[in-house]
Amino acid sequence: MSIKAFGLIFALCNFCVLYCFCAMAIVSSGFAAAFDVTDIGGKTASGIYFCKSSTLDSRDALVLVMGYGGSGRIWPRGFVDKLARKYAVITYDNRGTGYSIVPRDPQEYTIKKMSDDLDEVLAQLGIRQLHLLGYSMGSCIALQYAHDHAEKVRTLFLLSGTAGGELYVKPSADIAAALAHPQGDTLWELYMSSFKLMYSPETLKRVEPQLREIFDASKDTPTTTAGLLGHSNAFGQFDGTAFLAGLKMPTTILAGQDDRLMPVQNSQNLAKGIPGARLMLVPDCQHGAQVQCEDLVIREIEKACR
């Protein structure tokens, strides 16, 4: 499959500019309310850009790990803001995306290195305990991190994820073929070509405003070929099957039953392998539940992080 196709497979979850601007304030009687979201951005010594979003009521740290080719801007602004009412939400740009480093050598991209990047972000922020959520390829990074730093991870949440290796279930041949040959004359049309494979026509019509908002905010800084090659190398080599049985932290696995890009069998395989994992399959939901079913995903996160 071509690099262009890889970039478009995860178009929804892989937009490529730092996601750090001030949230819309909730104002009461001329004074800032407790739910005002403040964003603080920074960069680690090795060049990984991050953003901490929090309110006066934020408590535990919740880290969101984005997927293939995506910077922290993958996460819808409203999704982050709602979570920030309770948690100090950490988003960051994986290497090869956004304002983070972009190594030229594909071998410099591994899930292990990406896990180490995350640990550097947390060390700079002084975070020793966290709730960890990984989405799509980000689930692989989250699994690696939970394996390497089990003592730091209070809860693990895997959204549309996979363990890789022999437990990875690929998209169907027709979906892969359609993704390899996107149709369109403009960048937006090319993205829409992929979105149509990710969502049913009815869902796409409903969530298009959110997709357009994310697209408009990130279209000027696409992930480079080097970044896409690197992420392809990292994802293709990852095998976390040996990690699963040793994960002891409370784990929630959530997936759309109709996900055609990361087939639901991947989440079922994760649930079978992780002791005591809670599996939630969402009917009529596809790839990108944080956009399609935002409130439901937030409720499940809050339930898992109690």
**For residue 34, what pLDDT is reported?**
54
pLDDT at 24 over 80: no
Residues with Cβ within 8 Å of 157's Cβ and at least 6 positions away in sequence, in order, are: 131, 132, 133, 134, 142, 251, 252, 253, 254, 300, 301, 304, 305
- pLDDT tens digits, one per residue of 200-244: 899 999 999 999 888 887 777 778 889 989 999 999 999 999 999
**For residue 184, what pLDDT is reported?**
86
- pLDDT tens digits, one per residue of 94-116: 999 999 999 999 999 999 999 99
pTM above 0.85, yes or no: yes
- What mean pLDDT is predicted for residues 177-182? 74
